[in-house]
């Protein structure tokens, strides 16, 4: 038979008393169990680094400002499509001053081939004005300031911080979101969760290029509909349920893919 508890018995160690009432501690949020050991993560990125020692984003730009504009234009558009439109645009305006002088109508005309061009032309002018007004015409190198600019979200800010300022950020696009979840490298329901998971596990020395490696791996090998596992250099390490082979593809340096065949789904 269970002993009745004494009324004055002290609460168990896990229970705290606040204002005379017992308060049970909230369970601590648990980190998801890591599927990959640090050595495996290191090896994945070592191989990506061998494949593409200096990966480049495929959006053409000539300075931090034109990069920012190109990334804003690339939402729901292909990099190749954006590059076609920005060739003339950046010749005419490669600074916020010149962009404002060009005006919304002319910008709209030049980017008509890109989806959502009206809203994007408006944002490009508004963000150029904001750069002139608040930052002396320069692109700020901190996320908080970047996300205040019209048309700039966390992902765009992360791309700019990474590519223009060399900061170890992780801009989670559709490819990185898929890879984080499919491989179980950084599972998450939102891009922010995947971003946090990847930033936590990727060794610092690989963070500068990790964003590009993952995008390119997702775009050309670990594709959305059907991953091309026999062409994958990490097939032996990958723990994705969908993988079709354990034999990794030969590890060789890959030549950059020309824009004409670059494909993105943003």
Point out the residues that are catalytic. 155, 173
Q: Applying CB under 6 A, does 242 fall inside the site for ligand SF4?
A: yes
Residue 221 as a binder of ligand SF4 (CB under 6 A): the answer is yes
Rounded Cα gap, residues 76 and 83, in angstroms: 14
Is 183 a binding residue for ligand SF4 by CB under 6 A? The answer is: yes
Q: Does residue 125 interact with ligand SF4 by CB under 6 A?
A: no
Q: Which is nearer to ligand SF4, 102 or 232 (CB)?
A: 232
Stretch that binds ligand SF4, among 122-130, 168-176, 187-195, 219-227 (CB under 6 A): 219-227
240 binds ligand SF4 (CB under 6 A): yes
Q: Determine, following the binding rule CB under 6 A, whether residue 184 of this chain makes contact with ligand SF4.
A: no
Pairwise CA distance, residues 69 & 96, whole Å: 10
Q: Note whether 198 and 256 are within 8 A (CB).
A: no
222 binds ligand SF4 (CB under 6 A): yes
Q: 16: helix, coil or strand?
A: strand
Residue 161: burial class (beta carbons within 10 Å; 0-12, 13-18, 19+): buried
Say how many residues make up the chain.
266
Specify the stretch interacting with ligand SF4 by CB under 6 A; choose among 5-13, 35-43, 107-115, 226-234.
226-234
Other Cβ atoms within 10 Å of 25 Cβ, number: 8
Binding test (CB under 6 A) with ligand SF4, winner from 93, 172, 210, 235: 235
Strand partners, 16: 23
238 binds ligand SF4 (CB under 6 A): yes
CA 179/CA 191 separation, integer angstroms: 11
| Positions in the binding site for ligand SF4 (CB under 6 A) | 182-183, 221-222, 227-229, 232, 234-235, 238, 240, 242-243
């Amino acid at each position: 038979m269970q002993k009745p508890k004494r009324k004055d018995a002290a609460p168990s160690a896990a229970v705290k008393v606040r204002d005379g009432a017992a308060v049970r501690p909230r369970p601590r949020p648990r980190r998801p169990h890591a599927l990959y050991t640090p050595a495996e993560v290191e090896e994945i990125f070592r191989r990506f680094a061998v494949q593409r020692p200096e990966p480049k984003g495929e959006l053409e730009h000539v300075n931090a400002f034109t990069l920012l504009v190109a990334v804003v234009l690339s939402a729901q558009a292909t990099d190749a499509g954006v590059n076609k439109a920005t060739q003339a645009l950046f010749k005419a305006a490669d600074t916020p001053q010149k962009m404002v002088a060009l005006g919304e109508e002319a910008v709209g005309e030049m980017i008509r081939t890109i989806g959502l061009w009206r809203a994007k032309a408006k944002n490009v002018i508004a963000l150029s004005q904001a750069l002139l007004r608040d930052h002396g015409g320069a692109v700020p190198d901190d996320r908080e300031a970047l996300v205040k600019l019209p048309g700039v979200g966390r992902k765009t800010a992360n791309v700019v911080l990474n590519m223009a300022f060399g900061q170890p950020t992780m801009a989670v696009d559709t490819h990185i979101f898929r890879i984080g979840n499919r491989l179980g490298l950084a599972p998450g329901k939102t891009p922010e969760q995947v971003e946090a998971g990847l930033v936590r596990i990727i060794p610092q020395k690989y963070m500068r290029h990790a964003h590009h490696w993952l995008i390119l791996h997702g775009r050309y090998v670990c594709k959305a509909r059907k991953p091309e596992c026999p062409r994958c250099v990490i097939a032996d390490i990958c723990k994705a349920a969908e993988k079709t082979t354990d034999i990794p593809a030969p590890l060789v340096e890959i030549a950059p893919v020309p824009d004409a065949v670059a494909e993105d789904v943003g």
